[in-house]
Amino acid sequence: MNTTQTTDVYPQFKIFLTEVENSHFCITAVVTDADADPLRTAETIYERIAEIIASTGAKIIHERIFGNTPIYKNIFAIRNQKIQQHIPEDPGLVTYIEGESCYRNPFAGVQLRLFRPSHPDETVKTIWEGNIPRGRLWNRNGALFLQLQNLGPDHFSNGKNRQQQAETMFRKAETLLKSQGISYRNVVRTWIYVDHILDWYHEFNKARNACYADFGLLRNGKLEHAEEIFLPASTGIAGKNPQGFSAIMDLLAVNKMSNPDIQIYPLSGTRQRSPYRYGSAFSRAMCVVDSKEKWIFVSGTASINEQGESVYPGDLASQVKHTLEVVHSLVQSEGVAISDLCEATVFLKRKEDFPLYLKTAEALGISNIPAVCLIADVCRDELLFELDGIFVKSR
């Protein structure tokens, strides 16, 4: 088997499906009609997703919904009804991000990754914190994978300042990882959604750096060796959550266990250097490779040059082009192309830029990538565009 990609186009939405080696499936559903009823559209999308799950026999290992907060409970109820018809034991583990759709519909879209066990020793189980589902754990080829999601500080942290809340979030993640016999050093990817990011991104980085130092990720880490420090790939972007936390996080951790064939390594590329050089502790991308597949988790990438400076301020088209060149430089050395993108998120700072983005994307050949498109502040006020994504290729 190889990697296959299909796109189903409906009047109100698109569904992108990527199948990898008959074991992994990536689904991205994008609502494209501003006037479509969001709840009826959610019903139709989740009916199709439930059909895919039923036909493949795969298990959900990561799921995110993007939409406005007022419809959160209704979307969540629809999702549970459709999915639990096929998987009664499904715990309803979803990360819900409030992000305004570029297509101006209250419901922006859905991203899921699925895994189908092929051997009796390959199982998928839910990780619980008390009675709250927090993630999924699965085995494959002797390696252990753990996806945590919807991690905030806790409901007792609302009185704390935002930096303290962020620290609590990271330390909760470390505690949950250790409960499964691994640690934050096994984390390869984080997705972090920060409320009012421009107001406190510096403090957020201080919180992350302090926790990463405590976890041993930054031990003896010197700036002149920044590209050699093993740090997770990451997206840090503006995004509210229904719980009202200052930030929430999803993360993926991998423990090679008894599989010596798995390789895990960061990518720095040639067009940008390590973000740790200017205070942000993450890698440009992380590779997870085994005998069958290569996965590249590309961090949130924007129009920044080799010196860490923002370039093309106010020029969306040039920022999009520069960002794509940076991403291309990251993945091309691994034998991967833009066509191998199986999941992405596009972030635009200004909603009025969306028509220009579509025109630019068509010119650059990325108009039909599997991406949910959102309006969101990037970590710097002058940055108008950011892209993150997952690339996968059969070996």
DSSP 276-301: GGGT---BSEEEEE-SSEEEEEEEEE
Residue written as token pair 């108008």? 384
**In 3D, which of 141, 103, 107, 93 has the Cα closest to residue 121?**
141
Query: Which residue from 367, 369, 364 is spatially nearest to 343, judged by alpha carbons?
Result: 369
How many CB atoms lie under 10 A from the CB of residue 147? 23
Average confidence (pLDDT) over 245-268 = 92
Give SS3 for 54: helix
Q: With contact defined as beta carbons under 8 Å apart, do 226 and 274 qualify?
A: yes
Under the banding of pLDDT at 50, 70 and 90, the label for residue 34 is: very high
Pairing of strands 385-394, 233-238: unpaired
Rounded to whole angstroms, the Cα distance separating 43 from 249 reads 26
Residue-wise pLDDT for 275-320, tens only, equals 888 889 999 999 999 888 999 999 999 999 988 899 999 999 999 9
Kindly tell me if the per-residue pLDDT of 30 is higher than 90: yes
Q: Which pLDDT does position 307 carry in this prediction?
A: 87
8 Å CB contact between 263 and 256: no
- pLDDT tens-digit map of 68-110: 999 999 999 999 999 999 889 999 999 999 989 999 999 999 9
* Contacts with 261 (C-beta within 8 Å, 6 or more apart), sequence order: 141, 290, 291
Record the tokens describing residue 310, joined without a space: 């923002």
Instruction: Kindly tell me if the per-residue pLDDT of 224 is higher than 90.
Output: no
pLDDT computed for residue 247 by the predictor: 96
3-state SS, residue 27? strand
Using alpha carbons only, give the angle 79, 63, 275 rounded to the nearest 5 degrees. Answer: 150
Q: pTM here?
A: 0.96
As a whole number, mean pLDDT of residues 26-35 equals 98
Structure token pair of residue 111: 């991203």
DSSP, collapsed to helix, strand or coil, labels residue 34 as: coil
**Helix (H), strand (E) counts: the chain:** 6, 19
pLDDT of residue 281: 92
Q: Are strands 371-375 and 100-101 parallel, antiparallel or unpaired?
A: antiparallel
Q: According to DSSP H, which parts of the chain are helical?
A: 38-56, 72-86, 162-179, 197-214, 316-332, 354-364
Return the H-helix or E-strand segment holding 386: strand 385-394
The pLDDT value given to residue 154: 77
Q: Crossing angle, helix 354-364 and helix 316-332, to 10 degrees? A: 40
Q: How confident is the model at residue 155 (pLDDT cuts 50, 70, 90)?
A: low
Exposed / middle / buried, residue 71 (Cβ in 10 Å: 0-12, 13-18, 19+) = middle
How far, in whole angstroms, is CA 111 from its chain's centroid?
A: 9
Class of residue 80 by CB neighbours under 10 A (exposed 0-12, middle 13-18, buried 19+): middle
pLDDT at 157: 63
Predicted local distance difference test score (pLDDT) of residue 156:
61
